Amino acid sequence: MRLPNHIGIIPDGNRRWAESKGLSKEKGYGPGINPGLTLFKLCQQAKIKEITYYGFTVDNTKRPTEQRIAYTDACIKAVEILSKENADLLVLGNSDSPMFPKELLPFTARRTFGEGGIKVNFLVNYGWEWDLNSLKMAEPTQRNIINCVKSAEVSRVDLIIRWGGRRRLSGFLPVQSIYADFYVVDDYWPDFKPEHFFQALQWYKEQDITLGG
């Protein structure tokens, strides 16, 4: 079976899930932590080489404070849980900003946890403008654009899976996502089921790879 090397994960729909249960919006983030671990284990079993979670973005920090606290807390917990697995873990985002949780500063250089193996990137206070801005500092002779962005540690994405039904990238790694195939799950992220992942892999297998050629 043809597998993606690198899967991007956009776990959207937490707030709509909370509302659908009659809960206030910020209650939707905590129930997104376990699905993240389940998906990690499925990727590991499937021998996926790299995964990137869209934690939260600079854009997201404009939301009400109680939501910001709740999604930041969920990201901290998720990274702590992943650091108990076998993974090469990196948290990536604008860590110069007060919106970046200090608990995650020790993860901003890639480190091997357990036996390592799968590369896991977790985007925290990530911004597409922050990412591309470093191109302005690049040497014009440096040809490869991926090497010049702040997310240079993150490789080209083959498959993006987005939960919550929306069909857009919302700033997710614009350079690495240029050729990515984009699979949308209508269910909200807290309603994650392993079938979503298997269906996405099955769909991906049927796509051709042309890299724009």
CB 151 → a second copy: shortest distance, Å?
13
Q: Is 188 in the site for a second copy (CB under 8 A)?
A: no
**Planar angle of CA 83, 88, 94, nearest 5 degrees:** 80
Q: In angstroms, what CA-CA distances link 109 with 18, 90, 192? A: 34, 6, 29
Among the listed ranges 21-29, 87-95, 110-118, 167-175, the one in contact with a second copy (CB under 8 A) is 167-175
CB 80 → a second copy: shortest distance, Å?
26
Among 42, 46, 81, 145, binds a second copy (CB under 8 A): 145
Q: In angstroms, what CA-CA distances link 96 with 75, 129, 130? A: 17, 14, 11
What string marks each residue from 53 to 72 as x (binds a second copy by CB under 8 A) or -? Answer: ----x-xx-xx---------
CA distance 153 to 47: 20
Q: Which is nearer to a second copy, 116 or 174 (CB)?
A: 174
Residue 153 identity (one-letter amino acid): E
What string marks each residue from 96 to 135 as x (binds a second copy by CB under 8 A) or -? Answer: --------------------------------xx--xx-x
Nearest to 57 by CA among 106, 12, 107, 109: 12
Q: In angstroms, what CA-CA distances link 182 with 7, 8, 46, 110? A: 10, 9, 19, 27
The residues that touch a second copy, with contacts defined as CB under 8 A, are 57, 59-60, 62-63, 128-129, 132-133, 135-140, 142, 145, 148, 166-171, 174-175, 177-183, 207, 210-213
